[in-house]
Copies of this chain bind each other. A is one copy, B any other.
């Protein structure tokens, strides 16, 4: 049987220290966060999003952004990124030594207004300024496009709108758009269709997929996206983060589960899976619950052998 060819190499973007910890109830001590980021980078992960320069009143889990950004010993060859919501966040990230940032847009109007308190258009006006100023400072900007496969408030999100907003973010200056299944509702046919629509307008290399495993479909969606030509995927060590729209359910796709499948498919990542497991085990005790990663649970259990 002929099958779609798969890419030889995939880039895994580690978002656990930011997207993961931001959605955990626990306040993790700053030195633990720093050790976690350093362990993740040491595993060979090429990109680590390490914090967010956001309002400590709104997101207390990220109140130590400056200390984390300054405290992490940089590993040569690793890229470090941080989320910023506006020009003030950009300035703070720059002051803390960041050279790469990310902005967080939404494809659903209701989600945008409830999550970042701005209309989609309002947020794009801000992000255009952020990207322009970041460019002047020599910083690279990644963009998230959340709720691209469904919205907790609006339900279905038109695919044409996702394509249009992705193109606008790239035109504004983003080097990559992480098209995001924020609530983990996507199934593989939907992912393949979306990738096909996006690839008709922009190169595959500027599209990342940010998948959540809330209904168990994340790795099947990765497989469909690999077959459709995507080579960059976000993941969170241990599946850190949960799902704010379904308390107790899984959220971010786990880095371990993603790596296990990619390596099993013969796809290179440059990452040592065992080292990621150790990083997750390092932060796990600070969270007050077990991490949802299937691979981590299997690796952490006692074998009868």
List, in ascending order, chain B residues with CB within 8 A of A220's CB.
219-220, 222-223, 261
Asked whether A189 and B303 contact (CB < 8 A) given A294-B249, A294-B250, A295-B216, the answer is: no
Asked whether A257 and B1 contact (CB < 8 A) given A188-B223, A223-B223, the answer is: no
Q: With the chains together, A154 CA to B20 CA distance in Å? A: 37
Q: Quick check: which of A65-73, A87-95, A240-248 contacts chain B, the rest being far away?
A: A240-248
Q: With the chains together, A184 CA to B298 CA distance in Å? A: 10
The main secondary structure of chain A at its interface with chain B is loop
A214-257 residues at the B interface, CB under 8 angstroms: 214-220, 222-224, 227-229, 243-250, 254, 257
List, in ascending order, chain B residues with CB within 8 A of A303's CB.
152, 245-246
How often does this chain occur in the complex, in copies? 2
Task: Let me know if A294 and B213 touch, CB within 8 A.
Answer: yes
Task: Let me know if A214 and B247 touch, CB within 8 A.
Answer: no
Interface size for A (C-beta < 8 A) is 57
Task: Let me know if B227 and A3 touch, CB within 8 A.
Answer: yes
Task: Let me know if A216 and B257 touch, CB within 8 A.
Answer: yes
Task: Let me know if A217 and B261 touch, CB within 8 A.
Answer: yes
Asked whether A265 and B188 contact (CB < 8 A) given A152-B305, A301-B246, the answer is: yes
Q: With the chains together, A243 CA to B218 CA distance in Å? A: 21
Contact residue among B192, B214, B295 (Cβ-Cβ distance under 8 Å from A1) = B192
Determine whether A76 belongs to the interface, using a CB cutoff of 8 Å to chain B: no
Contact residue among B3, B187, B246, B293 (Cβ-Cβ distance under 8 Å from A4) = B3
* Chain A 125-143 interface 0/1 with B at a Cβ cutoff of 8 Å (1 = within): 0000000000000000000
Q: With the chains together, A293 CA to B217 CA distance in Å? A: 11
Determine whether A190 belongs to the interface, using a CB cutoff of 8 Å to chain B: yes
* Chain A 191-231 interface 0/1 with B at a Cβ cutoff of 8 Å (1 = within): 01001100100000000000001111111101110011100
Determine whether A57 belongs to the interface, using a CB cutoff of 8 Å to chain B: no
A250-294 residues at the B interface, CB under 8 angstroms: 250, 254, 257, 260-261, 263-266, 293-294
List, in ascending order, chain B residues with CB within 8 A of A77's CB.
none
Interface residues of A (CB under 8 A from B): 1, 3-4, 6, 152-153, 184, 186-190, 192, 195-196, 199, 213-220, 222-224, 227-229, 243-250, 254, 257, 260-261, 263-266, 293-295, 297-298, 300-305
Write 13 A-B pairs (CB below 8 A) sorted by A numbering: A1-B195, A1-B196, A186-B264, A187-B260, A216-B219, A216-B294, A220-B261, A223-B223, A223-B224, A243-B301, A248-B301, A249-B297, A250-B294
